[in-house]
Structure 1
């Protein structure tokens, strides 16, 4: 029986410990909770049980909200239903007036930190001040003094905007809108500077409020040349016409007055620029090491298909060495590729254009990051006129190759599974496909459903591989040309089954469906009943006593090594498919005679299923204590080998205690003392890891 996700999470709750520990705990468990409506309901019930809403619980709630938002953006199965659970909870609590002011502040901050607008039910007096006329007649505090109290003296730019955004998040919407407008019209330089970020606020009302403030400030003669320059640039990044029209009135008035003065944009130095390849949601991370005198930062951007510039912020560093160390730590958890500075303008212009096409402004933090990257004047490009070839192969190198050569490049795409860790995220798990898979009864039908769905997504995958080609084009070798050839093949109608990487995408999609929502609520497999389904293929004959040991003779493998290896794959922090874990186990090993390889594979999958059943039942590792020293040594060697698969065992997914145990496992094969330490320790640790993996 599966362990309860929330129970496992709370069992590891760090309490009111250090912030780093709390946020690490929240980040680990939030994606797992957000995918399970029962876990979300349980979290809300826990918040009812702990009405004081301690900081660690609010951090978990905010992280879960962020994961729920991303699931909804990615159109994940059940995402809307899970949000309905949250909405129902808020409505019931609001109707019964169960939230006090302190709770409202904490909950609203959690929503805003997660990139969501707080519901009216958790704001202060949402039924008060229903319109602008009422707001205008209310007794308001001195706005300049109020904001000075909210924003610390040393906070500027995007951090100052976020502090204020969180502070006003619990105010009634009309009051918050009124405050933003009045803040800008004050003409105080720091408040005007913060007001620029509201022009890119995710909420249209806030963008309009800021535009009204700048229009009023311009008519009062308070817009200097520096601010005017910012407004002229920012209007290009605003999606809504009404807000642009209001802002244009202010720009025209300021131009008529021919202003002077204001701050000059600072000139940052860019030292290094790296980018990830896009993942299966179309998300791509870009990092830049930048400096301004003694000030060191890492500028971070997140681009996402259909959303444009989804996030942008700066990570302050205390020194150049701290900057290099921070970037190295990020690269360790996420493979990055060096790109030249001339890669950036086209990529960001395209992302801006894609966001505006979806009526989305870039993330407010882009205002700071654009200055750091020397791209304040960047103009969104028209994504409708850009072709895949323009992105992937601007020099038209593919056109000079024969059809046979392009085919060879496409066939090499199967090696991406080995060469690019990000490929483990290239699968589909959206609600549309999940709904289709619920209707099938056989494995064959499920496979056909996935192929059919991928056919409708040619444009998405073509764009993903074209963007990958644009990144890799600046590195060594011709790997980029493989991606360009695949993107071209997708655009020109090549059959998906003649593009090898899609075999992996189909297999991974099916594996994820089976591991995740492949079971109906009554426990029945959505892929049919294997005992009564002729399309499932012949059953694998059970393993006979000593059979695997005989098959493995004259190879470096042993049954115990394989058991250890499979255990590490199953309890790993990240799920990986046989495509990921079979090559490191069997690569380069020869099995002489007959069909030994196939039978070895059959037995491996049988053992995989048995160990996985143990993980589901909460009984894993119990037999380790009875293994002889030699067999236990082999088991440890197998586990250690699988733990080197970075896609399954990323350091980012491990606590310090987990890393210590892994170190002991890797050293245990040659140290009897370590083996005696591990034997009683491992079953409990494996059970915890299995609970995470099963619920994840």
Structure 2
């Protein structure tokens, strides 16, 4: 009997995205390293030992960057495996640094890995002999040994060569230095920053201002000294003086703020030259925001146009990153903004909302003693947000005052408030981001117990959540401000619920907290499942060789988003 042909044509087999597949394998390998700190350390050891004159293995650097990123995300989520790996690597690098076993090329390579993973670089330095050899090599006098040029001058010259191909894009210039400076020996780093900030080339003026926000005290001090030299030479512009007046309000520690105040007074006394004809400003074509996820992370994007050129300004809150970058076309700009908004999200917000979100983030940073991303000064400049100051009060009560300036919600009856709180049970069906609203720290897992009964675990979880009111209330209140800007009718529900979470209403009577509790218990169950969706963590040597060879031949793929802790840059960077 002859079979009939199906009327439905066979579905085409999708082509394998080799780059994406290999990236996913690398990501799995990176995650597996968190369970084996000794292999984590061994990978870094191979990189920091790169011989002078040589180049580190790029694929090993990519793998370590991904592993560091996974460790950072785990540590930020309260998972001890991340902290364990980062601490083990820091101790190992410090030991190698004391013994003079880190090469200058290895130091710069490991620095790039840390910077690209949005981590502070450990306080390490290459060995003195390696520095002398590298300085001699850069100066072209390898045979002269200790008689070669001063290493600081050599490194300044080498950085000058590095930025020759960078145009007047301040964010790109800052990015080049961010990946290079921590790899320079500490005794030379401060002087390099001073010389660079004092350089009369106008490109280095905004860079010097941005360095005043750097997490490294050496960089901040060098930048302040260089800007002082710049003022003394009459090279500080009026726009830079305006930047200093604004960013002084962002500074965390009082001694550094007094130093910046001294620069401002010095500039005023010396007189600031009048500005040349103003370069045409950027026109803002639109702003987007991602939802606020369960870790408090949020992405802000601003589309920019000047003439026929397009750019984008990006601020990643919680990850503490900010930059402006050019786009090749209108389509590319739109694609990046849509990517930041999230799948299926409109994402559009007003510039006033962006300003509000930044003011809240600055206030949170000052309260927590954390500097904002240095690139924020570039974003503020291109977007003409010259009046950006930290919010006076970033607590949920303070934000409610901004949300409800007319005190409309404060006059609601108890029944009306109860209705708005009850509506939080509907949020999950409307806003997909609520799927990321759960607790997943090791301390929480310890608190609710591993072997206890389901009822005992749930009771312990509610006890734990009582200690987390100050964490969840701001996330809900920030979401209310975002929805208010979009005219979303649910905004009032978020605002009132945020106040009830920070108040004394029992959490069990707040539906969204019940959803968070349920999702937390699900995350607790998933934490005991095999990592990688059943993919074994142990690869045999033949498979490992195959993967490494394939990865070496494949193009790099873009990293997918992670829950709550985004890596740097959804926008493309220029190739250096």
> Where on the TM-score scale, by shorter chain, does this alignment land: which range?
0.7 to 0.9
Which of 342, 357, 380 lines up with 1:347 in the alignment?
A: 357
How far apart are residue 180 of structure 1 and its match?
0.6
Query: What are the Cα deviations for residues 502-550 of structure 1, in whole angstroms up to 9, with x where unaligned?
Result: 111111111212222x58xxx9xxxxxxxxxxxxxxxxxxxxxxxxxxx
Query: Partner residue of 1:302?
Result: 316
Q: 1:109 to 1:22 in 2, by over 3 A?
A: farther
Match of 2:475 in 1: 464
Are residues 1:222 and 2:235 paired?
Answer: yes
SS of equivalent residue, structure 2 residue 311: strand
Distance 1:90 1:296, change over 3 A: same
Aligned residue among 70, 87, 92 for 2:90: 87
State the distance in 2 between where 1:404 and 1:345 align. 34
5 Å-filtered alignment, 1:445-464, equals 445-464=456-475
2-side partners of 1:213 and 1:489: how far apart? 50
Does structure 2 retain, via aligned residues, the 8 Å contact 1:226–1:261?
Answer: no
2 CA distance for matches of 1:122 and 1:253?
34
Shift of 1:332: 4.6
2:71 is equivalent to residue 68 of structure 1? yes
Q: 1:31 to 1:470 in 2, by over 3 A?
A: farther
Q: 1:126 to 1:476 in 2, by over 3 A?
A: farther
In structure 2, runs of 5+ residues without a counterpart are 1-16, 51-55, 133-148, 538-558, 563-576
Select which of 357, 360, 374 maps to 2:367: 357
**C-alpha distance in structure 1 between counterparts of 2:413 and 2:94, whole Å:** 63
Is residue 222 of structure 2 the alignment partner of residue 209 of structure 1?
yes
Spell out the pairing of 1:98-117 with structure 2 (5 A cutoff). 99-117=102-120
* Shift of residue 189, structure 1, vs aligned partner: 2.3
For 1:69-468, list aligned pairs within 5 A.
69-91=72-94, 93-94=96-97, 99-121=102-124, 123-125=126-128, 140-141=152-153, 145-155=157-167, 156-262=169-275, 264=278, 267-304=281-318, 310-333=320-343, 335=345, 337-383=347-393, 387-438=398-449, 441-468=452-479
Q: CA deviation at 1:355?
A: 0.8
Distance of 2:112 and 2:74 partners within structure 1 = 20
C-alpha displacement at 1:222, in angstroms? 3.0
Please state whether the residue corresponding to 2:372 is helix, strand or coil.
coil
Partner SS state of residue 296, structure 1: strand
- Counterpart CA distance in 1 for 2:244 and 2:306 is 24
Partner of 2:14: none
Q: Distance in 2 between matches of 1:126 and 1:120?
A: 18
Q: Shift in Å at residue 466 of structure 1?
A: 0.8
| Aligned CA distance change for structure 1 residues 341 and 140 (closer, same or farther; 3 Å) | closer
TM-score, with length taken from structure 1: 0.65
> CA offset at residue 299 of structure 1?
1.6
Q: CA deviation at 1:195?
A: 1.6
In the TM superposition, what whole-angstrom CA distance separates every residue of 1:174-200 from its partner, at most 9, and x where no partner exists? 210121112223333223332222112
What is the CA-CA distance between 1:462 and the residue it aligns to? 1.3
**1:506 alignment partner in structure 2:** 517
Q: Quick one: structure 1 residues 186 and 315, their matched pair in 2 at CA, closer, same or farther if it must change by over 3 Å?
A: closer
Q: Distance in 1 between matches of 2:387 and 2:532?
A: 49
- Please say if residues 290 and 342 of structure 2, whose CA atoms lie closer than 8 Å, have aligned partners that are also in contact: no
The 1-side partners of 2:470 and 2:452 are apart by 29
How many angstroms does 1:210 deviate by? 0.8
Partners of 2:561 and 2:212 in 1: CA distance: 37
Distance 1:383 1:128, change over 3 A: farther
Q: Which runs of 4+ in 1 moved over 6 A?
A: 20-25, 49-52, 126-129
1:308-344 Cα shifts (integer Å, max 9, x gaps): x821123421121221233234445484532222222
Per-residue CA deviations over 1:438-488 (Å, capped at 9, x if unaligned) read 476222222122111111111221111111111111335411121112112
Q: Which has the higher contact order (CA 8 A, sep 6+)?
A: 2
Tell me how far apart the structure 2 counterparts of residues 339 and 442 of structure 1 sit (CA, whole Å).
46
Post-superposition shift, 1:117?
3.5
1: CA distance, partners of 2:177 / 2:535: 46
Does the 8 Å contact 2:322/2:376 carry over to 1? yes
d(CA) in 1 for partners of 2:373, 2:536: 44
Q: Cα 1:571–1:147, aligned 2, differ >3 Å: closer, same or farther?
A: closer
TM-score (normalizing by structure 2): 0.77
Q: Deviations over 1:545-602 (max 9, x none)?
A: xxxxxxxxxxxxxxxxxxxxxxxxx998xxxxxxxxxxxxxxxxxxxxxxxxxxxxxx
**CA displacement at 1:21 relative to structure 2:** 8.2
Residues 102 and 126 of structure 2 are in contact (CA less than 8 Å); yes or no, is this contact kept in structure 1? no
Cα pair 2:100 2:128 within 8 Å, conserved:
no
Greater mean deviation of Cα atoms: 444-453 or 221-230: 221-230
Instruction: Check whether the contact 1:120–1:172 (CA below 8 A) recurs between aligned residues.
Output: no
